A and B are shown apart, each in its own frame.
Chain A
Amino acid sequence: MNPVARTLAALLLLSRAAAAQDSELAARLDKPTLIAVSAIIDSARLAKLPTKPLHDRALEGAAKGSDGPKIVIAVHQLSVRMGSAKRTLGSSATSEEIKLAASALELGVQVRDITRLQSAAGKRGVTMPLFVLTDLIAREVPIPTATDLVLQLSRAGVKDGDLSIFQRNVRADIDRGADPTVAATTRARGLVLRNSTPSKPSE
């Protein structure tokens, strides 16, 4: 396909996506809420923030039967958090990374720690590390401990698949009654040791 046709095809896809999103919002929100949410989404688009999470948050609020003002506030707050997250991660961050960094910031993770995590993750991306970090914090592992553990795992080059298993194991330990900090620290130590000395038996 020649460049003109490619550009036009991309424009068509984008306009279709935007139209589909608009129609879903219009079908689920009352008019004042739709106008307010659309304005927030337009501002986010101008700021080059991902707009789908905002659209999804509005649909979630409508599905849960929340009233209009609550939906507008939730969408606005998410937009503000994503703005901070994008400034922290830089312009090359993916939509997933921005969403998760916004969640981490909301939980109280420091901006400098997100930057360190991003730099430790390197080309692998920071999506899974941020996902694990926010889950650990939600499971009541203290923020500095959780941040330090995920940083260590990232610096040790632990792959996303292993991070996911780590997360599952910690969750299972906590569900069985383990102390969240002890469970996370023990599992992380084992994974770091295994990753740093692949030829030797792990802990």
Chain B
Amino acid sequence: MSRIARELQKPVRLDSSFDSRVMGAVRKLPKHSRFGLWSRLTTPRSVMVSPLSWGLAAAAVAVFAVMGTVNLAGDVSRTAAPLFSSSAKAQPQRVQFVLVAPDAKKVAVVGDFNGWDASHAAYQAQHRGGGVWSVTAPVPLGHHRYSFVVDDSLWMPDPTAPRATDNDFGVANSAIVVSNQE
């Protein structure tokens, strides 16, 4: 026991390179996480931005700024755009609409594919003779509700098509599913 005590009481001698070896090992350790994010945010670095990215970023900021202004003012631009152009995934298919209406002077197709707009130029039916009116117009893929408008006032469902089941406004609509197979 006394031999162990004597051994422990001897002074410890460190060689001269001890400090530099310890500091070298410390520098090799990963940095503390508390300072990692700060370090990443504050360390200067080069970022490569293409002219296209910069242009798109500026355009996006401008669009959001304009939208914010419009909403705050409560007044919205009245420029209309075809609805199907707003959906990137919809690939419109050409669909023929036919109505037999011998006494009609004008026939248009309205539906959720043209904003229910009876004045939409692409959906004005032409008289083919014998009371047959038809138009072949683009309709996006998917399920749609539509109707004919005769002489700007009379709404008529397509007699050859399925009826749309929901009828909230008292005038029945027709339904169609446009798919790639058609």
Question: Contact residues of A with B, CB < 8 Å?
Answer: 1-2, 4-5, 8-9, 11-13, 15-27, 31, 52-53, 56-57, 59-64, 66, 70, 73-74, 77-78, 95-96, 99-100, 103, 106-107, 127-128, 131, 134-135, 137-138, 159-161, 164, 167, 171
CB distance from A92 to the nearest CB of B (A): 15
Decide if the interface of chain B is mainly helix, strand, loop or mixed.
Answer: loop
Q: For residue A18, which residue of chain B has the nearest CB?
A: B67
- Decide if B88 touches A128 in the complex (CB within 8 Å): no
Q: How far is the CA of A8 from the CA of B143 in the complex (A)?
A: 30
| Residues of the B chain whose Cβ atoms lie less than 8 Å from the Cβ of A15 | 60, 63-64, 67
Cα–Cα, bound, A18→B70 (Å): 12
Asked if A5 contacts B112 (CB within 8 A), the reply is: no
Which residues, 65 to 117 on B, are CB-close (under 8 Å) to A?
67, 70, 74-81, 83, 85-88, 110, 112, 115-117
Binding site of A, secondary structure by majority: helix, strand, loop or mixed?
helix
Closest Cβ neighbor of B88 among chain A residues: A13
Given A20, A57, A167, which contacts B86 in the complex, CB threshold below 8 Å?
Answer: A20
Least CB distance, A41 to chain B, in whole angstroms: 13
Subset of 18 A-B contacts with CB under 8 Å = A5-B52, A8-B59, A11-B60, A20-B80, A20-B86, A26-B78, A27-B78, A56-B116, A59-B115, A60-B145, A66-B169, A96-B177, A106-B165, A127-B142, A131-B177, A135-B163, A138-B163, A160-B181
Q: Is the CB of A63 within 8 A of B118?
A: yes
With an 8 A cutoff between CB atoms, is B17 at the interface? no
B residues 123-172 touching A (CB-CB < 8 Å): 142-143, 145, 155, 162-166, 168-171
B81: chain A residues at CB < 8 Å are 20, 23-24
